[in-house]
Structure 1
Amino acid sequence: MSFLEATAASDAVLTVSQLNRQVGELLQGHFSRIWVRGEISNFTQAASGHWYFSIKDERASVKAVMFRGRCQAVGFVPKPGEKFEFRAAVTLYEPRGDYQLQVESMRRAGRGDLHEAFLALKEKLAQEGLFDPARKRPIPSMPATIGVVTSLAAAALRDVLTAMARRAPHVRVIVYPAPVQGLDAASKLNAALNLAIERAETDVLLLVRGGGSLEDLWSFNDEALARSVAASPIPVISGVGHETDFTIADFVADLRAPTPTAAAELCCHSREACMRAVRVAYASLCTQQQRLHERASLRLDRAAALLVSPQQRLSQQALRLQGLNQRLSRAAAQASARHVARLDAVRARLARAQPRPQGLRAELDYRRQALADAARRLLEHRRQRLLALAQTLEALGPRSILDRGYAIVRKENGEIVKNALDLSVGEQLGVELGRGSVRVDVVQVHGLL
């Protein structure tokens, strides 16, 4: 009998919460992970990072949710009206009783191969560390020259040039043309980027292109181009597509801009900001200069106050010389007295230190005899200790134990047998006795409890 039949047959009264919980358990138990194809509608990206949307076809729709951790692995933000294939679990949102799909991954319907290739390359380069923030180079704040790698006919180039002319007309712009769409666009973009790196005439490089579909932006998902961006000694800013578009170049670049115009704004400070910084620096310099001038004036005033006439200085020097002469005389007398006292002290110490040969000879004989007695006692003590250790070693040696009737049992590989349960019937063993050794076969094994 099914759960629904059992519920219908019983007289139990369920609350709404209990009913929704049991229905949710039925859905999750009946459906495993499934693939659903449909078109996205009512798409909402919450502040928490979760995606809420509906999946519909010509005749029906179902609500769906994709949590932030799963969204970050997608690599792009879907747009309403686009068709995808979703891998999801069927769940029930108990507070409202609505059933929904909890999406774990998604791929473009009809373009699954491109999306799978995108995810595979993204995973590969991420494992190699090309997306590591610690690897990325800082963007110079005041570049003299910037390079732009894009198509000459692209609207992105016009956006960049317009933004640079408006914000930073003092910065030189060099364009390295390459197609941004087509079969050979990736290789030509890579060649243009390497040319810019080889010429080394710019401080930062912009890799830009306007928005488009996954196929339109596919040139910026090229592995060779991504590796060139990662290896570039010149910092690279990627401004490909719109804010919701993501390419491999965005992940590898030192900085991702949501649009080409934003890339131009991020590559350098505006002229107004630079002029404002110059004005602030000039004001600070003037203030510092004024302070230095004021301190120098104070030093000059103090130095002028210290000036004295030559006659007064000569009088001061004469007084100082007289004082030094008196100190020198006193120091000479004191030094002579100290020398006399030290000489008397040395004479007294010399008298006390004169040798007394008779007394020293008797003391030397006494100490020689004491040293010889101590050496004999130490030698006898060490000999007794050595004999005791030798007796102990002989008593504890394996040969002494074997002589008392014990034996050493070894396996064929030489391993000593300690537990009978480690043996098997029929196994050959070697037994070492106090006198000789024997080879035996195991016919029965008994283990101790």
Structure 2
Amino acid sequence: MTIGFAVTDDVFTREILTVAQLNQAVGQLLEQNVPLMWVRGEVSNFTQAASGHWYFTLKDSRAAVRAVMFRSRAGAVGFVPRPGDQVEVRARVSLYEARGDFQLQAEGMRRAGLGNLYEAFLRLKAQLASEGLFDAERKREPLRLPRAIGVVTSLHAAALRDVLSALARRAPQVPVIVYPAPVQGADSAARLAAQVAVANARGEVDTLLLVRGGGSIEDLWSFNDEQLARQVAASRITVISGVGHETDFTIADFVADVRAPTPTAAAELACAPRTELLRALDHAAQALVRAQRRRLDQAMQRLDRASAQLVSPAQRLTRQGERLEALRHRLAAAWRAPQGRRAARVALAAQSLVHRAPDAVRARERVQGLAGRLIRAQARLLESRGAKLAAAGGQLRAFDPQNTLARGYAIVRGPGGAIVRAAAQLQAGQRLMLAFGQGEALADVVQVDGIDA
């Protein structure tokens, strides 16, 4: 209802109001003429009703005013105020008509000073963004298999326990190095920046986690520091920021290579899980076994083809024996032919002697001498041919690969099946095939020595 307050001197013409009408009229005047505003003060007499509504008094050194904040608005504040807290309340002025009490109906609340901090946050964010520190082109993906992971946080922070638990569960094989620094306080930002610089100077980790738990904007303010932001941007090590809860954003989140919603999520982004690596390793091992089997099958096929093209030592010895036998027959024939000719000549000579009556004794002695020379020449020829035959047989046996292997030697073949003749042909980690006098074996090269530079 709208009530006019026309004042006249005639008491009988004035409108007589009830108390309820008066309070309603005053309430309407307040709501229509006083805009939504921010009011700063100290919380006192705070009560949280079972319904979820907040009732409290907002005061300063000179005055106080009652305030109410209904459950639907209180749930969005993010903290529960305590008596003595300095807050800023966004409220409408109203009148509680049942008692005629003047009060504030709060629609929002923040800790005192939040507005100034937020303005500073926005100014620094705009400045760093204009310098390109937030650009996606300069962001780096964390290594899936880091040598070690560094954590910059407080030794007493719950975030450190969450990170260590997540890493122990996810990748227990990865070492973790903690670079301790306070996460809030007067000098916390400088000490955080110093520890980021220390981690880069040492170069002992591949991924750096910058983490802390949730809190108010004042609690997280160290991570909005310009010095820390520039140190993170200049880091040679990939930086993952996990500050606060999912709804919390700091300058460090924008500058870091990766922003994680929580410290635990930052740990999960820092490396691949051990179970995934084990599965990949198992798949790789199975693929290696299959590839090795294929290579062995192919090598055996090549060996069979090569064996079919080779002449066995037994066959070669048989052929050479046959040739030697042929030579022996030729030698015997060659011996018989001169002997026959000589006998004919002797016969002719004997006939001549008969006719000419030569000295038979001297002729006999000469014949016997020639026969002895002939026998000795034959013996020498047979001995020479026998020596050559023995030498040829020895060479055959010396060149027999099976005899060489039987004396303890082995044939070494590299990954391609080629015979290895020098250590310089090898590299550590290669798989070799060793052929012995009896059987074969596989060997892995661990170290190669004796190679001239």
Q: Normalising to structure 2: TM-score of the pair? A: 0.46
- In terms of Rg, which structure is larger? 2
